[in-house]
Amino acid sequence: MTANLIDGKKIAADIRSEVKTAVSARQAQGLPVPGLATVLVGDDPASKVYVRNKQKACAEVGIASFGYNLPAEASQQEVEDMVSQLNADPTINGILVQLPLPRHLNDEAVLSAIDLHKDVDGFHPVNIGKLAQKGREPLFVPCTPAGIMVLLEKAGAKLEGANAVVLGRSNIVGMPVALLLVRANATVTICHSKTRDLPSITRQADVLIAAIGKPEMVRGNWVKPGAFVIDVGINRIEDPAAPKGSRLVGDVAFEEVREVASAITPVPGGVGPMTIAMLLRNTLHARELADQSSHI
C-alpha cells in the first residue's frame, strides 16, 4: 500500500483564503482589520526568515502587521516593556514573540507578560494550562499543533480511542499536540530522548507525530501498517546530488514510511504551511475578541 499524501500546502491555502474573505467582509462593514505585532530579538537567520514569512502572509490576507526588532543584547526589561507597550495598543490584536529568545532572556516571563487576549501563539502559561485541563477552554491554541489537528481531520483520521504516539516534548509542538490529542480522546504516549526502545512504541501508533528534529529517524519498520504519520521535522542535510548541495528532509524516512502508512505529510509542504495559516486564523480571532470587549 502506498500512503495518501496529506497536502498541507493546499489545506493551508484554503484556510488563508477563508481568513482573507473574513477580513474583507470586516473592511466592507467598516470594522477595523486585525493587527499582528511580531517581535524579533537578535538576528538569528532562521528566525528572521520565519518572521518575514509571517508578515508576508498577513499582507496577503489584509491583516496589518507591525515588525519590531530588538538587538540580541536587549535586557529582560526592554523586551517586557515592548510587550507592555503592544498590550496597550488598540491597533494590535496579536503579539508574536519569535522563539527561541537569546539565552540570557527568560522566555516564560516574556510570554507571561503578553495580554491573554493577544496571545496568538497560545504560549501564555494560562492558555497552556487551560489546554491541559478538562472542561477548560484556552483562548488560543498553539499554531503548529492546531495545524496538525486540522491535517489529521482532513486526512480522515479517527482519533477517538486511537493510539497516538508523539515523538518530542517541546513546549512549541510535542507537549501541546499531545494535549490536543488527549482532548480528542486518543490514548497518547509521549516519547523523548530517554525513552527506551522507541520502535516498539511507535509500531503501536495509529497516529504518529514526529517532532524530534532528527533527520529521517523514523524508519519504515517503525510504523504500523495503515498509520497516519505527521512529520513536523525540517532538517537540512547534505546531498551532493541536489542542486544546492543540500535538501530538506523531515524526521521521517519518507520513501520507506509511505509504503507502510495510510497517510503521510511531505516535507516540505506538509505541516510547515499550516503554522502560518493557523497564526492568521488566531489573529482574526484576536480581533474578534477585541470587538467583543470594546462593544464595536
Nine cell digits for residue 3: 500512503
**Each residue of 122-138: b (16+ CB within 10 Å) or e?**
bbbeebbebbeeeeeeb
Contact 15, 278 (CB under 8 A): yes
Binding track, positions 168-207, relative to ligand GUN; x by CB under 6 A: ----x-----------------------------------
Query: Which of 210, 213, 172 has the alpha carbon at shortest distance from 190?
Result: 210
As measured in angstroms, the least distance from the Cβ of 276 to ligand GUN is: 9
Active site residues: 54, 98, 121
Which residue among 12, 57, 83, 121 contacts ligand GUN (CB under 6 A)? 121
Contact status: 113 vs ligand GUN (CB under 6 A)? no
Nearer to ligand GUN, 9 or 203 (CB): 9
Determine the residue with CB nearest ligand GUN. 99
**Smaller CB distance to ligand GUN: residue 50 or 222?**
50
Rounded to a whole number of angstroms, the CA Rg of the chain reads: 19
What's the min distance (Å) between Cβ of 218 and ligand GUN?
A: 21
Q: How far is the CB of 98 from ligand GUN (least distance, A)?
A: 5
Distances 9 to 52, 77, 132, 155, 258 between C-alpha atoms, Å? 18, 39, 29, 13, 18
Contact by Cβ (8 Å): 66, 36: yes
Position of cell 488598540? 90
| Sole window of 92-100, 151-159, 227-235, 261-269 interacting with ligand GUN (rule: CB under 6 A) | 92-100
Neighbours of 156 (CB within 10 A): 11
| Residue 119 near ligand GUN by CB under 6 A | no
| Residue from 93, 144, 202, 283 in contact with ligand GUN (CB under 6 A) | 144
Report the distance separating Cα 281 and Cα 274, nearest Å.
10
Residue 98 touching ligand GUN (CB under 6 A): yes
Q: Could you say whether residue 282 binds ligand GUN (CB under 6 A)?
A: no
Site residues, ligand GUN (CB under 6 A): 96-99, 121, 143-144, 172, 275
